[in-house]
Amino acid sequence: MSDYTTFSHGLYIGGEWRSSSDGRVIEVVDPSTEAVIAAVPDATLADAGAAVDAAAAAASGWRETPPRRRSEILRRCFEMMTERAETLAALIALENGKALRDARGEVAYAAEFFRWNAEEAVRISGEFGLSPSGTNRIVVDYQPIGICVLITPWNFPAAMATRKIAPALAAGCTVILKPASETPLTAYALAALYEEAGVPPGVVNVITTSNPGPVASAMLADPRVRKLSFTGSTGVGRVLLAEAAKHVISCSMELGGNAPFIVFDDADLEAALDGAMIAKMRNAGEACTAANRLYVQAGIHDAFAEGLRKRMAALNVGPGTDSDTECGPMITRKAVDKIDRLVQDAIARGAKVLCGGAISAGRGYFYPPTVLCDVPADALMAHEEIFGPVAPISRFEGEAEVIAKANDTEYGLAAYIYTRDLAKGMRVASKIESGMIALNRGLMSDPAAPFGGVKQSGLGREGGQKHGITEFMEAKYIAVTM
């Protein structure tokens, strides 16, 4: 595999690499040093139209490709990502800033979507039954929905793309991927890999743009586009939903989160601390599933807070590309400023700083691992995604109280519960308004499980048995007299 850390091939449209139609570029910055490391084409509306044209030209051929052949290509994508994991991880660490250990985990997770969907591609089945009246047979056939526009964020540049591309290709759809302009190099590196693995020209197209609103609108306005899958903030998701509604386009939305992390008195303290470090510090807290509000029962509160302080304070902060780094930089200066605003607001409202709590000096977009306790319910960070390495701890007394606190948010993506009492854990999980629950675990993401949220955290599911693929398919009912 070529060294994608220093250059990009360009827009990937119809199996060809090209510059933008007006020649403009987007600079890619290393968040560890603030240095420009590459420049990628800045797609125009004309380029977006060309990508839709390419996807349309390839649609019938890919749709008619036998499921076994599609499966074999997806499997090859998995194998090649696995073979080149170190190169891809280094690229992610460079442009995203995440620690290499996290980047390696992301590549393995991202590749797994190809293996899972390679297995599911040959198991897409329809339905056959007798109508209640007995007059005819009911045949239901599942067919590819059509051209899909996929919009992904910067925090998991490989996994957020493959979680959409793999099921779409398994279903028989062609796609246009618009990755985040902060982390485009991974998307282009993977596009080259897909081509080498046998994905036909035009089946996967990749464009980057600094003008995402108009570019997305132009693609959604094209009647050949039938699906939008978006991962990102709830605010942007609402705008895209409104745009898609104009054209009655099917939407899958994986939006913001405000995950509660609940620790009961009877929890295994060390296990809860292990889980908290995973749930909070995966990708330095820049994850929609990150533990955003840590509720700890009074009896274990002080021991948990001190244990978390020790662990967070001991983390090695540095460039993501350094092998000993445990917490890399944030993605932009704006992200750092937001984190600090939330921290200072909490402190002003009475929260106590156990470690961290101030912007790091020097170059790079760093924020130190921070633990706050006595965070009041009216603190801004109790209602906004922190998206950084800040763990705000609040004390609670009883089960009903913490359930009410956990549900006091417009979001409902992920939640975490720690208790040795399985019955209590299941009871509380059933009352938490969230699409995903991790019970005595700090991680719930799995390609074999449906990923998604409720309330303002999104629509639809990604991954899981049939869930991920059926998001990219339409059910066709045929009434048959036999």
d(CA 443, CA 478): 42
288 noted as active-site residue: yes
**In this structure, are residues 197 and 221 in contact, taking their beta carbons and an 8 Å threshold?**
no
Q: Determine whether 327 is an active site residue.
A: no
What the block records as the tokens of 408 is 């006091």
What are the φ/ψ torsions at residue 227 (nearest 5 degrees)?
-150, 140
Cβ 299 vs Cβ 307: under 8 Å = no
Nearest 5°: CA angle at 14, between 72 and 4? 75
Single out the residue of 431, 407, 375 nearest to residue 260, CA to CA.
407
Distance of CA 86 to the CA centre of its chain: 21
Which is the catalytic residue, given 77, 148, 288, 355? 288
The packing angle between helices 67-83 and 159-171, to 10°, is: 160
Q: Are 78 and 200 in contact (CB under 8 A)?
A: no
CB atoms within 10 A of CB 169: 31
Dihedral Cα 449, 457, 91, 116, nearest 10 deg: 20
CA distance 228 to 207: 15
CB 410 within 8 A of CB 245: no
What secondary structure does DSSP assign to 44-68, as a single string? Answer: -HHHHHHHHHHHHHHHHHHHTS-HH
Q: At which residue do the structure tokens 């929890």 appear?
A: 267
Assess contact for 47 and 206: CB atoms under 8 A.
no
Catalytic residue among 95, 243, 254, 326: 254
Instruction: Give the active site residues.
Output: 254, 288
